[in-house]
Each structure stands twice: as structure tokens, then as C-alpha cells.
């Protein structure tokens, strides 16, 4: 173990809180570099409210939930863009997929934030700090938006740490530093403490987290209620919830599954791209079969060396979870682009319109083999379950290293 790794105390901090930076605004301008350094507001019409503002707009005091009329007065030079909900949901799904590739214990809070328990990923990916940097790098590289990560031993401290990390940073709060980090803060900064509770505590003369921490629990309970008082005591000492419940955002009921890969070097070699599409397809369809779902729409995503990104989709006659069928469709979509020596940075495969596998009635084909690729896929799944993911691989994937 390197000296830096030995001194990194983030192994004491299994909880990550990942929060996307100005998410709606970041998605809206990621393909418009001319807007990256100017104030941008994403929101509704003249009588609507602000959904998001980028950081140049925030410097003028613009925040989400402000009336648009007030936001325009505060920052008259801002560019106002309508929200693209489909694009936001697509990016959110891809970001959550990155999280789940790091750890299966992902507790999504909303479209743009989630808690991760990475204790099971230390051996594979390094310390919690290293995992946080890995997540930030992948989100930035694959989705061209940024996120901030708080690393701590409990949910509330990780949440506060991610606020301090903004924008586009990492803050680690080891257990020995929790009180120094928490106690100078205003009580209103504690995770879950709203304006009403903050006012109640201020009336009791409790303005800092340290003052709350050193107030007897019974006194807190008399002032704000039994349950709230006990919970506030734990928040003030950073001893609140340390376990997560895996769940997805409400917008994401597994309607699609996908995977992306950024090449180590940009490539214009069709064989390399086709092989990578196969590897990604095998990963996606394995997850689909594990979840007991199948899908009809296959989508590929291609990002070029200049970061221009295109997607293409095709809907099949029947829902499928067969690797060969999805891969053939993905390759067909790629070839239909007619690319001539274009340098490619990233490719992705996604299967959408997922339905329970048991509801799929596949059309029988006259003269088809009694045992086909569907059975082969399930045999590979069984071998992988017993002997590990690399036990059985398609021959094509053995012909070259991963990009």
C-alpha cells in the first residue's frame, strides 16, 4: 500500500453522496459551448418558476423555485432555455447506471442525486476518495456534466460534504473530523432541518449545530418533539443513518437498461467498435435476463472525438433479451450511419421499453433449431453465476483487448 493510500482515512467513510451540479442547466448547455460562461436559466414561461440556474446565473442570486419574473429582473442578461425533460431523464438514467456499476447499493433521492455505499467496492476500486474521483471522472467524460461528491460515515454528513464540494469537487469528512466540520454550522444546514424547525431552534437560543449537540436530548424533545429531538441529536453528532436502502428515482422504473464505454484512444476501426458493441450488449442483456425483462427498442449512442453525440434507435417486432439479436440490431444501426473514417470516442447500447419476460410471446419460426441462442445465453449466465463473469466469453471478445 502506498504512503498516500495508508494516510487516506476515507476507508472509514463508506457513504458517498453524489449531487449533480446545476443539473437541468448543465444538460441544457452541454452541447452549446458558447453558453458555458454566460448566465443561463432553465425554466417555464413568463409566469413560471426557475428549474435550474448555472453558476454564472447563481452569482446574481438566481436560484431554483424563484419566479421567472424575479429571476429576469435579477439577471436581465441571462439566456433562458426551456427544460428538455426527455434529455434530462436520459442523462439521469445513464448517470445512475454509472453509480450501479460502482456498487449495487445505490439509494437514489431524485433525478440528480443519490447515496452510494461503496464499502463492497474498496478491494476493486480503491478507497472511498478514489471511488469518488472515479465517479466524477466517468460522469464528466461520458455525460459531459459535472457532479460533486461528499464522503463520510453517515448519510447526513455525506450530504453536507457534497454541498461543500460544489461545484465539481470532492470533500471527505473522516469520523475524527465530524464535530469540527459540523459544530460551527448554522442549525438550518443540517440535512432534513427545514425553515420551521430552524426558527424553533433559534427561538430556543440554539443557532449552531454545536449548541444543539451539547443540549440535553430531553430539552430538545420538549422543544421540538420526542422523535424530532432525538433525531436532531444524532444529526448534530453525525451519528445518524449509516445504512442505505437501494432504490431508483421515481422516474426510472427500469424502463431501460444500457451501458456505455469510452475508448482509451479514439478509433475509426469498425471492427473495434463492433466488438465493443458486443461486449456492451452482452453486459446489458445479462442484466435484463437477471431482472427477468425483455425489450423491443434498441438504441445506440456514438460520441465523436469533437464530443458531438448522436443516437439512433430501432424497434423490433418482438421484445427480446437475446444477446445476438440485440447486437445485430446495434451493428445495423451503426453501419447505417455510413461513417467514413470518423474518429469515435464513446459507444453505448441501450434496450428500452422493458416488459416482464414472462409476458413475451415470441413468434415461432418454421425450421428453426430446437435449441438456439436464447438457450446459449442462459447457459452462459449459469456458468457466470457459478464460476464468475469471465468463465465463458464469446470468441470475438478474445480477439482484442478492451478499448
Same domain for 13 and 160? yes
* Selected residue with higher pLDDT from 110 and 16: 16
Same domain for 271 and 376? yes
Q: What is the mean pLDDT of residues 240-254?
A: 75
* pLDDT tens, position by position, 91-116: 888 899 899 989 999 999 988 999 99
Task: Please enumerate in sequence order all residues whose Cβ is within 8 A of that of 48, keeping only pairs 6 or more positions apart, or say none.
Answer: 67, 68
Predicted pLDDT of residue 362: 52
Task: Please enumerate in sequence order all residues whose Cβ is within 8 A of that of 211, keeping only pairs 6 or more positions apart, or say none.
Answer: 187, 205
Helix axes 85-102, 128-143, angle to 10 degrees: 150
Task: Please name the helix (run of DSSP H) or strand (run of DSSP E) that holds residue 359, with its range, or none.
Answer: none
Same domain for 231 and 368? no
Residue 342 has pLDDT above 60, yes or no: yes
Residue 260, marked binder: no
Same domain for 164 and 196? no
* Selected residue with higher pLDDT from 382 and 153: 153
Same domain for 134 and 268? no
Domain boundary among 130, 157, 175: 175
Residue 67 has pLDDT above 60, yes or no: yes
Residue 247 belongs to some domain of the structure = no
* pLDDT tens, position by position, 44-60: 766 688 989 999 999 99
Positions marked active-site: 113
Q: Which domain holds residue 54?
A: 1-175
CATH code assigned at 139:
3.30.70.270
* pLDDT tens, position by position, 150-172: 999 999 999 999 999 999 999 99
Same domain for 203 and 348? no
CATH code assigned at 195:
1.10.150.20
Q: How does DSSP assign 209-249, residue by residue?
A: HHHHHTS-HHHHHHHH-HHHHHHHHHHHHT-S------B--
Residue 381, marked binder: no
Structural domain total, the chain: 3
Domain boundary among 152, 175, 198: 175
Amino acid at each position: 500500500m502506498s504512503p498516500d493510500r495508508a494516510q487516506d482515512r476515507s476507508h472509514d467513510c463508506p457513504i458517498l453522496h453524489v449531487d449533480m451540479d446545476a443539473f437541468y442547466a448543465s444538460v441544457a448547455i452541454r452541447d452549446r459551448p458558447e453558453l458555458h460562461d454566460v448566465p443561463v436559466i432553465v425554466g417555464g414561461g413568463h409566469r413560471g418558476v426557475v428549474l435550474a440556474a448555472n453558476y454564472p446565473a447563481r452569482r446574481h442570486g438566481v436560484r431554483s423555485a424563484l419566479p421567472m419574473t424575479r429571476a429576469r429582473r435579477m439577471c436581465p442578461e441571462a439566456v433562458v432555455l426551456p427544460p428538455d425533460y426527455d434529455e434530462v431523464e436520459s442523462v439521469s438514467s445513464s448517470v445512475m447506471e454509472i453509480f450501479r456499476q460502482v456498487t449495487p447499493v445505490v439509494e437514489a433521492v431524485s433525478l440528480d442525486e443519490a447515496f452510494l455505499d461503496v464499502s463492497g467496492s474498496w478491494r476493486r476500486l480503491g478507497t472511498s476518495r478514489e471511488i469518488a474521483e472515479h465517479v466524477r471522472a466517468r460522469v464528466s467524460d461520458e455525460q459531459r456534466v459535472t457532479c460533486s461528491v461528499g464522503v463520510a460515515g453517515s448519510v447526513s454528513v455525506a450530504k453536507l460534504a457534497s454541498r461543500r464540494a460544489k461545484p465539481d469537487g470532492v470533500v471527505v469528512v473522516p469520523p475524527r473530523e465530524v464535530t469540527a466540520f459540523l459544530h460551527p454550522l448554522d442549525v438550518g444546514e443540517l440535512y432534513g432541518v427545514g425553515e420551521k424547525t430552524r426558527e424553533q431552534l433559534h427561538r430556543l437560543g440554539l443557532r449552531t449545530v454545536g449548541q444543539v449537540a451539547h443540549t440535553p436530548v430531553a430539552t430538545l424533545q420538549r422543544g421540538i418533539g420526542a422523535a424530532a429531538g432525538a433525531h436532531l441529536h444524532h444529526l448534530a453528532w453525525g451519528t445518524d443513518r449509516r445504512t442505505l436502502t437501494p432504490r431508483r428515482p421515481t422516474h426510472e422504473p427500469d424502463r431501460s437498461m444500457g451501458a456505455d464505454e469510452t475508448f482509451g484512444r479514439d478509433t475509426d476501426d469498425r471492427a473495434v467498435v463492433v466488438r465493443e458493441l458486443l461486449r456492451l450488449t452482452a453486459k446489458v442483456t445479462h442484466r435484463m435476463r437477471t431482472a427477468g425483462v425483455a425489450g423491443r427498442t434498441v438504441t445506440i449512442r456514438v460520441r465523436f472525438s469533437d464530443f458531438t453525440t448522436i443516437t439512433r434507435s430501432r424497434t423490433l417486432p418482438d421484445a427480446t433479451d437475446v444477446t445476438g439479436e440485440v447486437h445485430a440490431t446495434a451493428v445495423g444501426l451503426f453501419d447505417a450511419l455510413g461513417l467514413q473514417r470518423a474518429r469515435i470516442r464513446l459507444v453505448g447500447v441501450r434496450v428500452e421499453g422493458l416488459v416482464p419476460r414472462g409476458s413475451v410471446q415470441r413468434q415461432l419460426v418454421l425450421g428453426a433449431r430446437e435449441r438456439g441462442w436464447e438457450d446459449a445465453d442462459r447457459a452462459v449466465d449459469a456458468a457466470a453465476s457459478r464460476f464468475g463473469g469471465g468463465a465463458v466469453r464469446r470468441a470475438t471478445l478474445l480477439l482484442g483487448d478492451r478499448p
